Amino acid sequence: SDQEMISLDEYVENMKPDQKDIYYIAADSVTSAKNTPFLERLSNGLWETIEPLEKTQSDNKKDKTDIVFLYQDLPKEQLLQITNHKSVKAIWDALKTRHNGEQIVQQARLQTLKSDFEMLHMKEEKIIDTFTEKLTTLVNKETSLRHTILDQTLVRKLLNVVPDRYLQIVASIKQYSDLSEMTMEEAIGRLKTYEERIKYKKGKQVDNQEKLMFT
């Protein structure tokens, strides 16, 4: 409790090689995390009750008090699953088991989304807006699972899966632009501009053909 709080990413980077578990507080900010009743109890000795040392002794009164504070910080759906446990240690073990199960499900979902991302291609008849909507939906789903796709990955993906009619602009972008610095918005904007030019030229050709037919 006397140490400075760090982000989860920083914590993971500094984990010991043999460390298997991660315990953290999820909050909107460091201040709100510090003010949670659970963290307050944790810093005042609750940790010893959850993971007791050999010489640690906790009486029933303290255990019951800690359970009350645990209940205060749990969502209603989790409370229904742990009400049959009588000690803080049992509750904590149940929460760990649930969390590990959720992590397995989350990893499975993430792998599915990654496969969908790799297989995603833009069909010949589709336009940039339609394809990028589908791509954005996949990205948002991965973000909800705490996996971020870098812009440079998205840009390269977009340029590599567009139909052949975009080959000219794609070649130009790859030759004259730094893809590692390009944002997804910029790549989409340039492809859409090119798309509009193609559409305009085709429209003009149709108009000229119609004029020739009536001359």
CB atoms within 10 A of CB 121: 13
Is the overall model pTM greater than 0.85, yes or no? no
Strand ranges inside the chain, DSSP E: none
Q: Which of 17-26's residues contact partners 24+ apart within 8 Å by CB, and which partners?
A: 21/96
Q: Residue 108: is its pLDDT beyond 60?
A: yes
CB atoms within 10 A of CB 88: 22
36, 52, 114, 214 from 45: Cα distances, Å:
15, 10, 42, 91
- The sign of the dihedral angle between the CA atoms of 103, 105, 108, 114 is negative
What average pLDDT is seen over the chain? 74
Question: Where are the chain's structural domains?
Answer: 8-103, 122-213
Question: Residues 16-62: pLDDT tens digits?
Answer: 666 666 555 566 665 666 666 655 655 555 544 445 545 455 455 44
Amino acid of residue 38? F
Question: Residues 150-180: pLDDT tens digits?
Answer: 999 999 999 999 999 999 999 999 999 999 9
Rounded to 5 degrees, what are φ and ψ at 65?
A: -65, -45
Nearest to 191 by CA among 182, 204, 203: 182
